[in-house]
Amino acid sequence: MRLKLQTQITLLTILISACSQKKTEEDYANIETIRPASKGWFKLSNNKKIKRYFRNGDQVYCGEVQFNDHPMKNVDTASFEVYLGSEYARDKNRVYYPLQIACVDGKNWGVCYCTDYIIKNADPQTFKYLGNEYASDKNSAFYFGNVIKNSDGQSFRIINGSESLRFAVDKNKVYFGDEIFEGADPETFQYDHSNPLNDTIRNFILKDKNHVWKFNPPTQIIVIK
């Protein structure tokens, strides 16, 4: 009888603990989403949300606010900051990006939260956001939070002209997304913004010393010359 009573008490304790840990709308009623107009690194203050990241007390979260009881692990809250206009964040020890998101549904509740968010081997001291989801540090370049293999971070730059242009170069190669754009010369590769075939929506003309390409977003590339 005593064993049965102890078992019931243990189960009841587990249920009470689980219910008490589940965050509700009231727990995060003071969280305010901010959308600063400027760009650059912005310190995440308490009860503030930028992009997917928000802070509640001494914990930082990545994902939806309501019912989110999955704080990011081993984050230095005091130095945590988000690059405005991107999904990149960092603290004094690591660089972050929402690499994987899980969604859980319960009875009368549901939440999506980040389960993988640390960019491995990224250096927070030299990490910089370049635009169009590209970033770099002293060693490598990154695209949507994933390292671009064998890239040179110090010489890496994006091809400016439009958010639809997902091209970049370093001293050795030209990239389309995170893949090598074969046959292109990194020293002379550029967006030919003065070409009359450009319409900045469906057609973008790119060139190097040997070739001319027409890029139709999101993925179609046609060799013109």
* Last-in-domain residue among 99, 118, 137: 118
pLDDT by residue (tens digit) across 135-186? 999 999 999 999 999 999 999 999 998 889 999 999 999 999 999 999 999 9
Q: How far apart are CA 182 and CA 39, in angstroms?
A: 33
pLDDT at residue 23 in the model: 57
pLDDT averages per 10-residue partition of the chain, 225 residues: 38 38 63 86 94 95 92 97 96 98 88 96 97 97 98 97 93 98 97 88 92 94 92
- Alpha-carbon Rg for the chain, nearest whole angstrom, is 23
Whether residue 92 sits in one domain with residue 32: yes
pLDDT at residue 107 in the model: 79
Whether residue 87 sits in one domain with residue 47: yes
Residue 1 lies in a domain: no
Q: How far apart are CA 17 and CA 105, in angstroms?
A: 19
pLDDT at residue 5 in the model: 34
Contacts of 148 (CB under 8 A, 6+ apart): 140, 141, 142, 175, 178
What's the total number of domains in the chain?
Answer: 2
pLDDT at residue 27 in the model: 65
pLDDT at residue 202 in the model: 83
- Comparing CA positions, the residue from 116, 72, 123, 137 lying closest to residue 94 is 123
Residue 7 lies in a domain: no
| Structure token pair of residue 164 | 């639809």
Residue 69 lies in a domain: yes
Rounded to two decimals, the pTM is 0.84
Q: How far apart are CA 27 and CA 43, in angstroms?
A: 22
* Last-in-domain residue among 118, 142, 159: 118
pLDDT at residue 22 in the model: 55
Residue 18 lies in a domain: no
Range of the domain at 200: 128-223
Q: How far apart are CA 122 and CA 188, in angstroms?
A: 29
* Last-in-domain residue among 118, 138, 161: 118
